[in-house]
């Protein structure tokens, strides 16, 4: 039932939001350059790697050694607006349509984190990753990694259609009040280095 819901709603949203998606794509190209879509490998269901799609929110500025500058220095005011309104997440509707992701589930994190999870934290990969999730409506990037993973595993253990509907409703509310977008002093959140 969840997969059918994801497929039908993502298809409808891609059609209904095609104009806003195209406008956002053009604005990103104008303000941040091409390509407008940022792709990155992420682990999904059972740790299977897929490519997540997002609108770029950062420049490609590099230092004299050719290395990318820290995220906080490359994140522009336009990029911050995209994140605040969650418009950077719109291309993930394609991930949902393909079946890489769901609307609701633990957020897909970096592949490099896979060997750092303890046995309980790794349970977050027992379901498809989501555009939003229980951790996102309970603090998003303003909570610690340990809290985030506890929320993710709680979702895995308690998932239901009605819980998903509650999370989607709370997500809309969170977007409007722009809460927990980033950790203090970070563009998003500091890197996960493993739990003590």
Number of Cβ atoms within 10 Å of the Cβ of 73: 13
Q: Which residue has the tokens 């722009």?
A: 178
Query: Would you call 179 helix, strand, or coil by DSSP?
Result: coil
Token code pair at residue 97: 């349509």
Give the model confidence (pLDDT) of 58-77 as tens digits.
Answer: 888 888 877 877 878 888 88
pLDDT of residue 184: 52
Q: Which residue has the tokens 């927990």?
A: 180
Structure confidence at residue 41 as a pLDDT band (50, 70, 90): very high
Q: Which residue has the tokens 């493993």?
A: 194
What is the overall mean pLDDT for the chain? 89
Q: What percent of the chain has pLDDT over 70?
A: 93
How far, in Å, CA of 101 to CA of 92, rounded?
8
28 DSSP assignment: H
pLDDT of residue 49: 97
Give the model confidence (pLDDT) of 9-28 as tens digits.
Answer: 999 999 999 999 999 999 99
pLDDT of residue 89: 92
């Amino acid at each position: 039932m969840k997969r059918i819901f994801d497929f039908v709603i993502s298809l409808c949203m891609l059609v209904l939001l095609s104009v806003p998606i195209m406008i956002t794509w053009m604005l990103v190209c104008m303000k941040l350059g091409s390509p407008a879509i940022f792709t990155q490998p992420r682990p999904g269901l059972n740790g299977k790697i897929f490519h997540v799609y997002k609108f770029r929110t950062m420049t490609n500025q590099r230092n004299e050694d050719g290395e990318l500058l820290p995220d906080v220095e490359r994140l522009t005011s336009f990029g911050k607006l995209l994140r605040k309104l969650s418009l950077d997440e719109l291309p993930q509707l394609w991930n949902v349509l393909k079946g890489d992701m769901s609307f609701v589930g633990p957020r897909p994190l970096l592949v490099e984190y896979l060997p750092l999870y303890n046995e309980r934290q790794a349970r977050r990969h027992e379901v498809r990753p989501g555009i939003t999730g229980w951790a996102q409506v309970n603090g998003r990037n303003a909570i610690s990694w340990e809290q985030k993973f506890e929320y993710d595993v709680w979702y895995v253990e308690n998932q239901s259609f009605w819980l998903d509907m509650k999370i989607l409703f709370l997500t809309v509310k969170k977007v409007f009040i722009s809460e927990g977008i980033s950790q203090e002093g970070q563009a998003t959140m500091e890197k996960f280095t493993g739990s003590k």
